Amino acid sequence: MAILVDSNTKVIVQGITGKQGEFHAQQMIAYGTKVVGGVTPGKGGSTAATSVPVFDTVDQAVKATGANTSIVFVPPPNAKDAIMESADAGVQLTVVITEHIPPLDAWKAIALASKLGTRVIGPNCPGVVSPGKSKVGIMPNPIFSPGGVGVVSRSGTLTYEVAYQLTRAGLGQSSVVGIGGDPVVGTSFTEVLAMFEDDPETRAVVLLGEIGGDAEEKAAEYISARMTKPVVAYVAGRTAPAGKRMGHAGAIVSGTEGTAETKIKTLELAGVRVAETPSEIPRLLAPSLR
């Protein structure tokens, strides 16, 4: 098994005729993902990314292809409408790659999607991959391998690094989820942890956090109260100066709140083993996977 995406996932690419949309559609197809259509208003009836049919609306694409998942490469000013359109069309999962979406737009779109039963991953995220089954995102194809380690992360690049370290160490992954680093995201650490807890294929979990916000603290509360599977974590940004934005809009330390030290202490009190470097993660995981 896996979480969020698997071999039955059928994907439509919103913004498929754009440079990024078309390139990553091709990469997803190369990975084995069932990319069944794309959406670009005004270009319906054409094809893109190795003969993928293009539709004018998500509703048309869903009705024609049976798609249950969408991925959004639409520019920020139009991303809110793209997310809402996928929810209106009954898509079960929408992965939003677009960055620089205004927080109020993201909040409105995610609220509507939740009301209509559509789960949103992102925005400003690298996507989701269940190795050997499906990839819906922009993650590099070669770095993943199937196995029993679930990975959830706020950081895109850190996700790639840790997946590569795990694969090199012979520790395959059940699913890898990048939730995004913006202040407003559709799916939290806690929600993904709950999915991994319920997934029989996942034997242990890696949580990759960073400075800013309280997502890691909330995750620690959940882990302490509900998780039975071992969790190893890494928190990026130990040396970040207070008040300075570091990478993501959500990665800002205000006074003593949101610091790496606070997050690490809270996670350790919840029984999480916290790595000092990403390369240390496989070693900390190994005893749990014997």
192 has pLDDT over 60: yes
Marked catalytic residue, from 248, 264, 275, 285: 248
- Measured CA to CA in angstroms, residue 121 lies from 97, 114, 178, 189, 262 at distances of 9, 11, 8, 11, 26
- Write the DSSP assignment of 15-50 as a string of letters: TTTSHHHHHHHHHHHHHT-EEEEEE-TT-TT-EETT
Tokens of 39: 């959406």
Domains defined along the chain, listed by start = 10-121 (3.40.50.720), 140-289 (3.40.50.261)
What is d(CA 137, CA 115) in angstroms, rounded to the nearest whole number?
A: 24
The string of pLDDT tens digits covering residues 124-175 is: 999 999 999 999 999 999 999 999 999 999 999 999 999 999 999 999 999 9
pTM score: 0.93
The pLDDT score that the predictor gives to residue 290 is 74
The string of pLDDT tens digits covering residues 88-105 is: 999 999 999 999 999 999
The string of pLDDT tens digits covering residues 235-276 is: 997 655 555 555 554 455 444 567 889 999 999 999 999 999
Q: Is 100 a catalytic residue?
A: no
In a 13 Å sphere around the CA of 210, the CA atoms on its Cβ side amount to 24
Lowest-pLDDT range, 83-87, 93-97, 206-210, 234-238? 234-238
- Looking at every residue in the chain, the average pLDDT score rounds to 93
